[in-house]
Amino acid sequence: RYHRVLEENRKLYNQVQDLKGSIRVYCRVRPFLPGQAGRSSIVDHIDEGSIEIITLSKNGKEARKSFIFNKVFGPSATQEEVFLDTQPLIRSVLDGFNVCIFAYGQTGSGKTHTMTGPNELTEETQGVNFRALNDLFYLSEERKETFRYEVSVQMMEIYNEQVRDLLVSDGLNKKYPWHILSSQGLNVPDANLVPVTSTSDVIELMNAGQRNRAVSSTALNDRSSRSHSCLTVHVQGKDLTSGNTLRGCMHLVDLAGSERVNKSEVTGDRLKEALHINKSLSALGDVIASLAQKNAHVPYRNSKLTQLLQDSLGGQAKTLMFVHISPDPDAVLETLSTLKFAERVATVELGAAKSNTESGDVKELKEQISRLKAALARKD
């Protein structure tokens, strides 16, 4: 069944091929967690591409703010459904494109759920990482008469602006020098690069990576929300007829929690971490903004995160951001700030080469469409 779906998805793939160089933004709303039953969601899922956030002002008046994305997944969307809209990007890695898929959102909004899955992993609950690798192996097998592919992975963490290798047991204690875009197409050639031939190889490596991460940290969950983790998949394909070689690379990134930390409330290590996270996430926003404006200079060098992803953001690369939000009224301010960031990212797709005023117009029109759709939906 899975592979039949893959076949059906080829049409979608062709459409996505045409979108090269643009950034897609998918929004995923997580469900209330067990124990939170009975609360009312601040998210109104209008249609497959838009949501409204419901806020209450002091006098109890309801206000709504709408946001438009390439796709919106509501709280009941399954891992499979989410992946179906991601799948077309995977294939392009085998065609020699660079792809970057990253998960953004505050801690607890569902980033790890989307990228990896819940703690108890089953075939059904597996996240994008495993499904993506599974697809790569399936598709490369399918092409084996014409192409010979080799797949290898790196797994790294960026913590306090230091890159750590998760695939060696003492990797967290080593600092790696930076080689940006060396001839092998590796951003961090010194980090372990492990050849893999099956999804189970990858699962084993990811488990080992998680163990290495846990060893150096008393509270793994804590640490994982304050560092960026990146699974990088390198694909090298040899065209058996022409003898040419192509390279593709895919970064799968689970970003640090985007919540603003109140600087007056934290000190020491927490403050240092918060400042580093803040710096790298704003660097990511700046890179994306400058790609949107087609600036000659894109400030990749302002953070390790943007350096690592440099070859997979903008240009010929295909980028997908999953923006995660919680339905919880208590999180409404964070949610609005998350969505504002996401909106900024989404403008890259709206017409990069246009002047600011024009893209402002487009935004205005999109908002109008969304308001009209919402009004229609309420009439039904």
Binding window for ligand ADP (CB under 6 A); candidates: 58-66, 101-109, 243-251, 368-376 = 101-109
Burial class of 166 by CB neighbour count within 10 A (0 to 12, 13 to 18, 19+): buried
CA distance 153 to 204: 12
Complex with ligand ADP: residue 226 or 251, whichever CB lies closer? 226
Q: Which of 215, 193, 163, 265 is nearest to 274 (CA)?
A: 265
Complex with ligand ADP: residue 259 or 311, whichever CB lies closer? 259
Encoded amino acid at 46, one letter = I
108 near ligand ADP, judged by CB under 6 A: yes
Q: E strands of 97-241, at which residues?
A: 98-104, 147-159, 162-165, 194-196, 228-239
Considering the complex, what minimum distance in angstroms separates the CB of residue 324 from ligand ADP?
Answer: 6
Tokens 């998960």 locate to 103
110 near ligand ADP, judged by CB under 6 A: yes
Considering the complex, what minimum distance in angstroms separates the CB of residue 300 from ligand ADP?
Answer: 25
Task: Give the three-state DSSP class for 106.
Answer: coil
33 near ligand ADP, judged by CB under 6 A: yes
Complex with ligand ADP: residue 323 or 348, whichever CB lies closer? 323
Please pick, from the candidates 118, 195, 299, 360, the single residue that binds ligand ADP as defined by CB under 6 A: 118
Which residue has the closest beta carbon to ligand ADP? Answer: 110
CA distance 286 to 290: 6
Contact code string over 84-113 relative to Mg ion, x by CB under 5 A: ---------------------------xx-
Tokens 């209008």 locate to 46
Task: Give the three-state DSSP class for 55.
Answer: strand
Q: For residues 108-167, which are near Mg ion according to CB under 5 A?
A: 111-112
Tokens, residue 84: 């179906």
Alpha carbon 209 to chain centroid distance?
Answer: 19
Complex with ligand ADP: residue 109 or 154, whichever CB lies closer? 109
| Binding residues for ligand ADP (CB under 6 A) | 30-31, 33, 105, 107-113, 118, 225, 324
| Binding residues for Mg ion (CB under 5 A) | 111-112
